[in-house]
Amino acid sequence: MQSAAVGLGQLLLALDATLVSLVEAPRGLDLPVSSAALIDSDDVRLGLAAAAGSADVFFLLGVIDGEALGWMAKQASERVPVAIFAKEPSDALVSTAVAAGSAVVAVEPRARWERLYQLVNHVLEHHRDRADSTEYSDTDLFGLAQSLADRIHGMVSIENAQSHVLAYSASNDEADELRRLSILGRAGPPEHLKWLDQWGVFDALRAGDDVVRVAERPELGLRPRLAIGIYQPPASARCAPVFAGTIWVQQGAQPLAEDAEQILRGAAVLAARIMSRLAARPSTHARRVQQLLGLTDQDAATTPTEIAAIADELGLAADGTAVLIGWDFLSATDTGARPARLTDVLALSASAFRRDAQVASKGSRIYVLLPQTTTSRSITSWVRGTIGALRAELGVQLRAAIAAPVVGLAGVAGARVEVDRVLDSAARHPDSIDQVTSLAEARTTVLLDEIVTQVGGRLVDPRVRDLRAREPVLAETLRAYLDSFGDVGVAAHWLQIHPNTVRYRVRRIEKLLSTSLADPDVRLVFSLGLRVLERT
């Protein structure tokens, strides 16, 4: 999927001067960038490098100068890249790229390529004009960091509880060694973290939500800082807030804003909200599985092209048969065993059963898709065993419905709807459907339940309603007689009375209701009416 384009200059600003620096841009900084590709020396030597039209910017990983020049010449003959990123690019590479019209960006030698690649894709996915400091996405920590930096005139970084850098604002030449090394290494350098710990900074951050001041240490190359802890709301009123990370603000030559501490307290609240949203937001993989199952707000993938694209992303075959299992969370004695946690637990069990198992959830429902699978006793046995294990280990009660076989991934969304019908019916009438069932086994029960639900009280024959209210014994006899297809002996056995008693009651019912039970339409209407009244 192609991301929305951003300008090259905007991309470089977002990446930060700590990581990259522009060498030359012969066509300016406004050229759009919407995709990036990584290529290494083996790719170039073996002819496996990405084609010119496959990306706008390229990262050259360990490509020696001669290989890079040959690759650049080939790219220029097809489609000129917007920019190339290289560590310590040679004068020859710069000249060749500039002559072709490509910008050259020098990457800090200590920077990690995978980190840079992740950041570029983040910018392409969550692009915005970073000069606009008045707005930021409610799930974008980078946007929050930049907005905070612009507001209080400092350089901001946001870290998690393990001091891993999650986001940061743009740096300038005043960035100190701690900031540069933290951004380059994605975490605070151990020796610096040790100093901060010895000075009591971390203890102060974990002690409450006050802003902590860190004095300048010229001998260590550290500029003045402000810091504040990020706290997630407690799981319950009896629990304390959870320390989730830190916002650091390094002061440069310009003094920080007078109200910097007040603004920093507000930023900590916003960061906690964003981190909660990010933690709750499904991954791209999970969203693709949800889309395949028709669980997203957008329409389920239905066309062969859409199915093929999702299958390719998930690494699955689009054809063949599959099995879909729907699980319904009923109850738990362990208050921590909620659907969100159960999704992870079921994913572990499903992946152990089948390496290609796909798991998605919505509300109390969890779905396990087993691609390239046909129905078998082993699947039912695994489902029953999993339900038993979760009941024993976590005190969790689950119900499961199995749809099999599902013809191709194109049929998965429809199978999920059928599975939901079974689980919905079982939720209305827990005793009518087994704890583990299949669509075929439950079809009649589900259809009858849905018919009765649709009929509703307003469509019940008033004679049946009156009979049940005034003569409950006769109503019970009528139900047994109808369910026995008019076989007096079977109805008598079910009611534990003499057959003649059944005959007498039937004649009395016909007289009271002024009708004949020999009429099949009458039997149908009365049978449905009795079922509706029993369920209400």
Chain segment 487-508, per-residue pLDDT in tens: 889 989 998 999 999 899 989 9
Mean pLDDT of all residues in 22-29: 92
CATH number at residue 81: 3.40.1390.20
Residue 156 CA to residue 256 CA, distance in Å, equals: 12
In a domain, 1, yes or no: no
CA distance 428 to 448: 12
189 and 326 both lie in a single domain: no
d(CA 521, CA 510) in angstroms, rounded, equals 14
The chain-wide mean pLDDT, for the chain, equals 82
Domains of the chain: total: 4
pLDDT of residue 93: 92
Task: List, in order, residues 6 or more apart from 143 with CB less than 8 Å away.
Answer: 126, 128, 130, 135, 136, 137
Residue 135 has pLDDT above 50, yes or no: no
Question: pTM, whole model, 2 decimals?
Answer: 0.48
Specify which of 106-120, 193-207, 299-313, 437-451 reaches the highest per-range mean pLDDT: 193-207
Please indicate, yes or no, whether residues 240 and 112 belong to a single structural domain of this protein: no
Residue 366 is classified by DSSP as: E
434 within some domain: yes
In a domain, 128, yes or no: yes
Residue at 383 is within a domain: yes
Q: Do residues 434 and 306 share a domain?
A: yes
pLDDT at 328 over 60: yes
Lowest mean pLDDT among 68-72, 348-352, 454-458: 454-458
**Domain edge (last residue) among 245, 280, 315:** 280
Residue 319 has pLDDT above 80, yes or no: yes
d(CA 90, CA 60): 12
pLDDT band at 199 (very low <50, low <70, confident <90, very high): very high
Quote the CA–CA distance of 379 and 402 in Å, as a whole number: 9
Statement to judge: residues 212 and 189 lie in one domain: yes
Q: Are residues 84 and 172 in the same domain?
A: no
Question: Token match 């199952």: residue?
Answer: 293
CA–CA separation, 484 and 480 (whole Å): 6
Q: Which domain holds residue 387?
A: 284-450
The whole-number pLDDT of residue 187 equals 66
Whichever domain contains 377, its CATH number is: 3.30.70.270
Q: What is the pLDDT of residue 126?
A: 60
pLDDT digits (tens, 9 = 90+) for 467-490: 888 888 998 999 898 888 888 899
Is the distance from CB of 341 to CB of 395 less than 8 angstroms?
A: no
Q: Which residues pair with 59 in a beta bridge?
A: 38, 85
3-state helix, strand, coil in the chain (%, to 5): 50, 20, 30
**Least reliable range by pLDDT among 113-127, 200-214, 475-489, 519-533:** 113-127
Residue 1: pLDDT over 50? no
Whether residues 376 and 291 fall in one domain? yes
Residues 6+ apart with CB under 8 A from 264: 148, 152, 211, 226, 228, 247, 249
User: Which residues 6+ apart lie within 8 Å of 174 measured at CB?
Assistant: 155, 223, 250, 252, 253
Q: Which of 262, 280, 298 is the last residue of a domain?
A: 280
pLDDT tens profile 393-406: 778 888 999 988 88
- d(CA 327, CA 324) in angstroms, rounded, equals 10
Q: Helix (H) and strand (E) counts for the chain?
A: 21, 17
Q: What is the mean pLDDT of residues 254-282?
A: 84
The last residue of one of the domains, among 132, 153, 178, is 132
